[in-house]
A and B are shown apart, each in its own frame.
Chain A
Amino acid sequence: MAGTDDTTTRSLTLERVSKHYGPTMAVNDVSLRVAQGRFVTLLGPSGSGKTTLLMMIAGFVTPSDGEIRLGAVPIGHLPPEKRNFGMVFQGYALFPHLTVAENVAFPLKVRHRPRAEIAAAVRQALDAVQLSSLAERMPRQLSGGQQQRAALARALVFQPHLLLLDEPLSALDKNLRGDMQAELKHLHERIGLTFIYVTHDQQEALSMSDEIAILRDGRLVQQAAPQTLYERPATRFVAGFLGRSNFLEATVEAVAPEGFAYRCAGHVLRHAGCAKAGMAGELVLMTLRPEKIRILAPDDTAENRLAGTIATWTYLGLEYQLTVDVPGIGPLTVSTPTWRRATPLVGAAIEIGWDADAAVPVAED
């Protein structure tokens, strides 16, 4: 694989990969394809297998089953040091006895590159992460963000086939995390390297990734672009994990080419988009994002309209989050911008509504 720069040869393929520890399936039959140059995030709650999956890609964990390929070459049997993947560890794992420059030089030294080449590459890598002025410091003398950048420089200096990042920002405080997210995203655009990023933070995944693979209990639930995942989640879990969502259990009433009508606790509601012939009478689970529900004035029109009362409300700065009790359906979460909006009143009767394409059907899981 060395020497070929054809983009197709550097795509990473996982085919039916599993890892079990005794009877526990850490990763269960996962197939995943990461095209060259993409920023792909493995997202899931703790225990979902995302870190095990990353460790299998890195070579620290051997799959019990399945195949991992880089381009057409199987790499599942290679030890980590033969894979030529850059890796940023959780907690960075900078070598405490080496200076920042020596840390960055490490991957080149163990590859026995000429001294002059190492010096030049280290300088360039440190420049790229704006750490040149701290090259002679020891890791413990750096702030969290600086350590993070040093770890990044060390993972990139040897021009790896791809970069693996294991929750690299989880140790940073919230503001710094936002800055580093932007920096990472920018770096990815600049160098065009494949990034595989593990996180349990949904916002981080949404804001940075080209694609997100959602994992649950060792299984891959859905792999898609952030917008697709958010707007058209495949399952109840995806909808609930990636942001907040309301769920309506309903029965399909009538099917038309452009959508269907569904009955939920006596209310007939309409959906536009994805309809299959012959689904009339079937049970269907609809998901509806809180921000897609509007609070209606008496003369407003909406394709779906329900009356309810405000049960609770929370001020979140950007928005009010209301719980609206709808008779028969139960509580629905509604979010509405706070700007120029008066304080909600608990117990007040309101009308809510949404467009026909706002609620989408998802699979129960």
Chain B
Amino acid sequence: MPGFAADAAPVIALGPSRGRIPVKQTMHEHGAFALLVAPAMLLVATCYFLPLAQVLWISVTEPAPGLDNYAQLFTSASIARMLATTARICAITTLVTLALGYVVAYALTHARPPARRLMMIGVLLPLWVSVLVRAFAWMALLRREGLINSVLLTTGVIAHPLSLIWNEFGVIVGMTHTMLPYAILPMAVQMRQIDPALEAAARGLGADAWATFWRVFLPLSLPGLLGAGLLVVIFSLGFYVTPVLLGGGRTLMIAEYISLQILELLRWGTGTMLATTLVAAILLSLAALSRVVNLRQLFGAK
């Protein structure tokens, strides 16, 4: 055949295969990392763990060695009442915060990018305002002669001013407001990871908007909801400023109670016992939740 050689096709020579790069020795790198984290570790150890250990120590030695302080958890009526108040306020705050926060996070996730940025700023803005300032702002709104009461009175909706502050209601309003960003952010981050194609797929397979949310979106956003719930519970358990200012001394929560014991009554044993109990309760709830949710992933660690 014209145009074709008689011999076989040339064999293409392949280059020498490249050797595998040996795995680097990383031991000395570990040493360098240890050196880098050492100052921070030292700071945490001396300024945090040592005092904490001291708190634990005082709680079992003052006024007399033994577990007498802890027995008060079950014998003291005022502590029982305080614990019940704390638990009730935390539970209500958490539920309300999660409900409101979920709606915001959902809207944030489904908004177009420009609107999403605006909403994000709206969520973050309160974080830059002092808790103290926010508490005073709520006072201005909620007190007897405050904006809400005066508007309702002059429009004739109510005849007598409502007591919106210096009670549990005021505390819950203030705490919910403070907690909302802490609930919205983890939920929004987690919702962003849900593939939008899944919602489209659900619709395409015959689910209406409600069924799509109930059967697909909600179950997939559950880890974020749990994580946000945990965060809010932990923060609100130890809340001090807002309950003190908006509770008006009548709604005693554990943080204010501890400060009262130590600063006013000088009952160090009771105060430190309650502080230890608070830390233990938080660690226990973290441990319980870590069985359900991957906490490291929840808080952004890899």
CB-defined contacts of A79 to chain B, threshold 8 Å = 203, 208
Given known A343-B4, A345-B4, A345-B5, contact A89–B208 (CB-CB < 8 A): no
Given known A81-B207, A106-B207, contact A344–B200 (CB-CB < 8 A): no
* Residue A85 lies at the interface, judged by CB distance under 8 Å to chain B: yes
Residues 90-140 of A at the B interface (beta carbon under 8 Å): 90-91, 93, 95-97, 106-107, 109-111
* Residue B27 lies at the interface, judged by CB distance under 8 Å to chain A: no
* Residue B286 lies at the interface, judged by CB distance under 8 Å to chain A: no
Q: B198 touching A95 by the CB < 8 A rule? A: yes
What is the bound-complex CA distance between A80 and B215, given in angstroms? 17
Q: B206 touching A110 by the CB < 8 A rule? A: yes
CB-defined contacts of A343 to chain B, threshold 8 Å = 4-5, 7-10
CB-defined contacts of B220 to chain A, threshold 8 Å = 95-97
* Residue A225 lies at the interface, judged by CB distance under 8 Å to chain B: no
Q: A89 touching B206 by the CB < 8 A rule? A: no
* Residue A349 lies at the interface, judged by CB distance under 8 Å to chain B: yes
Complex partner residue of B3 from A85, A87, A158, A349, CB under 8 angstroms: A349
Taking the closest CB of chain A, its distance from the CB of B220, in whole angstroms, is 6
What is the bound-complex CA distance between A94 and B59, given in angstroms? 54
Complex partner residue of A93 from B8, B197, B219, CB under 8 angstroms: B197
* Residue A84 lies at the interface, judged by CB distance under 8 Å to chain B: yes
Q: B206 touching A158 by the CB < 8 A rule? A: yes
Name A106's closest neighbour in chain B (CB-CB). B205
* Residue A277 lies at the interface, judged by CB distance under 8 Å to chain B: no
* Residue B111 lies at the interface, judged by CB distance under 8 Å to chain A: no
Residues 1-60 of B at the A interface (beta carbon under 8 Å): 1-10
Complex partner residue of A107 from B195, B206, B216, CB under 8 angstroms: B206
Q: B3 touching A350 by the CB < 8 A rule? A: yes
* Residue B211 lies at the interface, judged by CB distance under 8 Å to chain A: yes
* Residue A359 lies at the interface, judged by CB distance under 8 Å to chain B: no
Given known A84-B206, A158-B206, A315-B9, contact A110–B211 (CB-CB < 8 A): yes
* Binary B-proximity of A167-184 (CB < 8 A = 1, otherwise 0): 000000000000000000
Q: A342 touching B200 by the CB < 8 A rule? A: no
* Residue B124 lies at the interface, judged by CB distance under 8 Å to chain A: no
* Binary A-proximity of B148-186 (CB < 8 A = 1, otherwise 0): 000000000000000000000000000000000000000
* Residue B202 lies at the interface, judged by CB distance under 8 Å to chain A: yes
Name A83's closest neighbour in chain B (CB-CB). B204
* Residue A318 lies at the interface, judged by CB distance under 8 Å to chain B: no
Residues 271-312 of A at the B interface (beta carbon under 8 Å): 295, 297-298, 310
Q: B2 touching A298 by the CB < 8 A rule? A: yes
Name A298's closest neighbour in chain B (CB-CB). B2
* Residue B201 lies at the interface, judged by CB distance under 8 Å to chain A: yes
Name A345's closest neighbour in chain B (CB-CB). B5
CB-defined contacts of A93 to chain B, threshold 8 Å = 195, 197-198, 200-201
Name B6's closest neighbour in chain A (CB-CB). A342
CB-defined contacts of B215 to chain A, threshold 8 Å = 106, 109-110
CB-defined contacts of B202 to chain A, threshold 8 Å = 95, 106, 110
Name B10's closest neighbour in chain A (CB-CB). A343
Name A109's closest neighbour in chain B (CB-CB). B215
What is the bound-complex CA distance between A80 and B207, given in angstroms? 9
What is the bound-complex CA distance between A81 and B210, given in angstroms? 12
* Residue A341 lies at the interface, judged by CB distance under 8 Å to chain B: yes
What is the bound-complex CA distance between A80 and B211, given in angstroms? 13
* Residue A191 lies at the interface, judged by CB distance under 8 Å to chain B: no
Name B214's closest neighbour in chain A (CB-CB). A110
* Residue A154 lies at the interface, judged by CB distance under 8 Å to chain B: yes
What is the bound-complex CA distance between A342 and B2, given in angstroms? 10
Q: A344 touching B205 by the CB < 8 A rule? A: no
Q: B206 touching A344 by the CB < 8 A rule? A: no
Name B8's closest neighbour in chain A (CB-CB). A343
What is the bound-complex CA distance between A348 and B4, given in angstroms? 8
What is the bound-complex CA distance between A91 and B197, given in angstroms? 9
Taking the closest CB of chain A, its distance from the CB of B168, in whole angstroms, is 37
What is the bound-complex CA distance between A84 and B55, given in angstroms? 66
CB-defined contacts of A86 to chain B, threshold 8 Å = 205
Listed residue (B3, B7, B200, B207) with the most chain A CB atoms within 10 angstroms of its CB: B3
CB-defined contacts of A350 to chain B, threshold 8 Å = 2-3
Given known A106-B215, A297-B2, A349-B2, contact A154–B205 (CB-CB < 8 A): yes
A-B contact pairs, 30 of them (CB 8 A): A59-B203, A60-B204, A79-B208, A81-B203, A81-B204, A81-B206, A81-B208, A87-B201, A87-B205, A89-B200, A91-B195, A93-B195, A93-B197, A95-B216, A95-B220, A96-B220, A107-B205, A110-B202, A110-B206, A111-B206, A155-B205, A158-B205, A295-B3, A315-B9, A342-B4, A342-B6, A343-B9, A344-B3, A345-B4, A351-B2
Residues of B within 8 A of A (CB): 1-10, 195, 197-198, 200-208, 211, 215-216, 219-220
